[in-house]
Structure 1
C-alpha cells in the first residue's frame, strides 16, 4: 500500500528521483509497446473493468508496464485501466496507467497513446494528490509529453528508448484553432449541443477528432482549442475515467496554461471514490472552457 511519511526530510528528493525513474521506464518501454502492436491487433478473450473488449495489445502493454513500473523502488501501487484492482508493489508513490489509449484505432492504423499519472496518495487518489503526469503518443514519431514541476516538456523517443527534449515550457497557443468532440451527436445534451454548434460556426476553428483522446489532446496542446468527451443523455458521467484519463490530462493542460473542467469545476477538483469512476472531460484554452461552463450554468 502506498504511504507517505510526512516526517521524512528527504521525501521530496526521493519523490523526484522516483518520478524521473517512472518516466524513464515509460519512455524506454514505448518502443517495445509500439513494436508489439502489429501482431496484437485482435481482441483478447476478456473485457476490461469498464466493460470494453480488450485488444491483445492492451493486455501486452499493461503487463509490460506493470512489471517495469512495479520494479521501481519508491513505487508502492500500480493501477491500470485494464485491471479490476490496485496492485501492491511495496511502499511509495502510486501510479495509474492507461496502457494503450485508443486501442480501437489499431484496426484502421490511427494514433494511440499511453497515459501515466503519479500520485502521492493511495489509489483512488484525488487531483490534489497528483505530482506529475505524462502521455506517450504513437504517431508518425513516438513522443512523450511530461508535466512536472510546473512545466510541460515534449520529448522525442528513439527506437532504442533514448529520448531527448524538443520543446520546453510548452503553453497552449493564445489563438485556438482546433476542436474535437466525442460521443454520438444525437446523445449530446442540449446545452452542449448549442455550445458545439457555436464552435463549429467559427470559421477560424477546424475539426480534429481521431478517436484517441491522447491524439486529440495533443492537437489542442499544439494548436490551441478544445477537446471534449461530454456528458451524454444516456451516460451523464461520460466515458473517460477520472484516475486514468481525467486527472492526468487535466493536470497536463492546466500546467500548460489552459483549463480543464467537468462542466462545472476543474477536473482536478473532481472527487470520486471508485477506481474506474468516469467523468465528463473538457480541456482547452481558458476562454473556451469558461464559455462552456457558462453554457451549462444556464440550464
Structure 2
C-alpha cells in the first residue's frame, strides 16, 4: 500500500485493514467476471437474480474480511443474514457490502463496482454508527474512493494495492451531470416536474450501475438519484449497503444526501435489506429536490 499517511483511512488500523483487503481482492473480482456471466437459479434477498459473479465476489469478501482482527460480522446484499466472526468483542467493527454493484452490466461489459461500509455497532446500524465508507470502481482503471473522519481520498488499485491519487476529493462547484433511476411512468408527478427542470440545466449520464453514476457526480458535479416510485414508495436501493455509504462519501466531499425529506445519514434501517429513496449530489440540487417533493 502507499506509504502516504494522510489519506482517509490512515490512523484507523482496522478500517485501513478492511480497505487494504478490499483492494487486494479487487483484481480477482475483476478477473473472475470473464467466466461468471451467467445467472444462478436463486435470487438475493431483494428478489433480484444473482449472477455467478455476485456469489463469487460475496464469498471472497466474506472470507477475507471476517479473517481480520477487529471485524466482528459481515453482511451483504447477496445474503439473507449476518455472518459472525469466530471470535467477537464489543469493540469490533461490522462490514456491510454490495459485493458487485451493477452486476447486470457484466453481460454488456459496462461499468460496475463494490461498495463498502464499516460500522461500529452491530448490524443493521444507522448513519450515526458509520465509521468509514468507500467503493471500488471497475472501469478502464480500477479505482477506489474512501471516506473516514470527514476526509475523502481516491486511489488507483494496481496489483491489489492502493496508490493514493487524491487526499482531498470534493464535488466541483459547477455541476454538469444528472442521472435518475426507475421507469419514467412510475415517477411521481412532483419528481417528474423536478427532472424537467434539471434536464434543461445538466447533461444526462446514467449507466445502470449506481456506483458508476455516483462516480460521475463526484467527478463532474450534479445529482444522482433513485426515487420513490408510484408502486414502490421505498424505491429500490438498500439503505445499509448503498444509501448510507454513498451518502457518507458525498457529504464528506461537500455535497448532500437525501431520501427526499432529510439526510440519509439521519436514518437507521430496521432490517438489513431495508430500501430507501436515494438522492446525492451538489447541495443546490438536493435542496431543490426536497422543495419539489414537499
TM range (shorter): over 0.9
CA distance in 1, matches of 2:156, 2:60: 21
CA distance in 2, matches of 1:151, 1:39: 37
Aligned-pair CA distance for 1:167:
1.5
Aligned-pair CA distance for 1:271:
2.5
CA distance in 1, matches of 2:79, 2:289: 33
Aligned-pair CA distance for 1:270:
1.7
Q: Does the residue aligned with 1:36 lie in a helix, a strand or coil?
A: helix
Residue 287 of structure 1 pairs with residue 284 of structure 2: yes
1:255 aligned residue: 252
Moved beyond 6 Å, runs of 4+ = none
Residue 98 of structure 1 pairs with residue 98 of structure 2: yes
CA contact (8 A) 2:101 2:115 kept: yes
- Write the mapping of 1:1-299 to structure 2, written as runs, cut at 5 A: 16-89=12-85, 90-91=87-88, 92-158=92-158, 160-202=159-201, 205-297=202-294
Q: Deviations over 1:64-123 (max 9, x none)?
A: 000000100000010010010011113210000000000000011000000000000000
Provide the alpha-carbon RMSD of the alignment: 1.3
Aligned-pair CA distance for 1:253:
0.2
CA contact (8 A) 2:94 2:119 kept: yes
CA distance in 1, matches of 2:134, 2:269: 21
CA distance in 1, matches of 2:270, 2:161: 37
Q: Does the residue aligned with 2:179 lie in a helix, a strand or coil?
A: strand
TM, length-normalised to structure 2: 0.94
Aligned-pair CA distance for 1:169:
0.5
CA distance in 2, matches of 1:163, 1:17: 15
